[in-house]
Amino acid sequence: MLNVIVFGLIALIVVATALAMLLTRKPIFSVLFLVLNFASVALLYLILGAPFIAFAQITVYAGAIMVLFLFVIMLLGAERAGFIEPLKGQRWIALILAVVFLVLVSILIMGNLLDLPSLHKPDVDFGAPVDIGVLLFENYTLPFLIISVILLVSTIGAVVLSKDMQPVKNVQVVHLDEVTTSGEEEE
């Protein structure tokens, strides 16, 4: 019973912060609310017996990704968007679809999954980093390597994208035997 109450509280925080992230006008607040959200979800992961994942969540999501967002917001100067929705019917359709979606999921859950038993309390070493590591390097080697390549590519991509590409002016063709002083180049 206590579990359910704890779960309920955490769930409440999750939903509340998510809503707050959506509704607030200033992007900086959105980021902070989202950080709170991630933290709560990490708590949920702990409940579910996934310690490694929980800490990875805090480190990667809340620690790295959100910080990136903060930097960008700082760079761009958060502007405010107007309240009026320019697209006709967008809000209504979206809300209706959201409700429909929830209804469908609840039908699904109540139809098939209510009779599932409650989750067992996880073993103390379930979800240990060691186990995950072993699994990762033994069974999922290829995806692991691919992930590393993806990360490399994204890094390079980010660098390339943010380079300022201005046209090259005043290019002087410099012959090696005429080099006296370094020619002036601009990137």
Partner 1 sequence: MNLSEVQTVSPLFNLVPLVVLFPVLGLLLNLIFGSRMKEKTIGILASAASGGAFVVSVILAFALSQHHEAVSVFMADWITIGELSLAWTFRVDTLSAVMMLTVSGVGTLIHIYAIGYMHDDVRHNGDPGRFRRFFVFFNLFIAAMLILVTADNYLMLFVGWEGVGLCSYLLIGFWYDKGKDGIGNAQAGKKAFIVNRIGDFGLLIALFIMFGAFGTLQFDAVFEQAPAAAGGVILAITLFMLLGVTGKSAQLPLYVWLPDAMAGPTPVSALIYAATMVTAGVYLVARSAALYMLVPAAQDVVMWVGALTAFFAATIAVGQFDIKKVLAYSTISQLGFMVAAVGMGAFVAGMFHLVTHAFFKALLFLSAGSVIQGVERGEHHTGHGEGHAELDPQDMRYMGGLQKQMPLTFRVYLVGALALSGIVPLAGFFSKDEILAAANEKSIFIFVLLALAAFLTAFYMGRQLLMVFFGKARTEAAAHATESPSVMTTPLVILAVLSVFGGALNLPGVHSLGHWLEHSIEQGLEVEFVWMVALISLALAFLALIISWTIYGRRSLGKPENSDPLQEKLGSLFIALNQKWWVDEIYEALIIKPIRYFSDEVLAKWFDQEVIDGSVNDIGGLAKTLARAVNHFENGYVRTYALSILMGAVLILGYLILK
Partner 2 sequence: MPPVAYFLGLSAVMFMLGFLGVVLRRNALIIFMSLELMFNAANLTFVTFASFYHNINGQLFVFFVMAIAAAEVAIGLALIVKIFRAKHQIDVDQMSSLKG
Q: Judged by CB, which is closer to partner 1: 88, or 169?
A: 88
Check residue 110 for interaction with partner 1 (CB under 8 A). Answer: no
Q: Own/partner pairs for 137-145, CB < 8 Å, 24+ apart? A: none
The piece of 13-21, 93-101, 113-121, 162-170 that touches partner 1 (CB under 8 A) is 93-101
* CA distance linking residue 63 with residue 43, whole number of Å: 15
- How many CA within 13 A on the CB side of residue 3? 9
For partner 2, the binding residues in 73-132 under the rule CB under 8 A are: 73, 75-76, 79, 81, 85-87, 90-91, 94-95, 98, 101-102, 105-106, 109-110, 113-114, 116-122, 126-127, 131-132
Check residue 84 for interaction with partner 1 (CB under 8 A). Answer: no
* CA distance linking residue 118 with residue 26, whole number of Å: 40
Burial class of residue 16 (count of CB atoms within 10 Å of its CB; 0-12, 13-18, 19+): middle
Q: In the complex, what is the shortest distance from the CB of residue 81 to partner 2, in angstroms, rounded to a whole number?
A: 5
In the list 12, 68, 95, 101, the residue contacting partner 1 (rule: CB under 8 A) is: 101
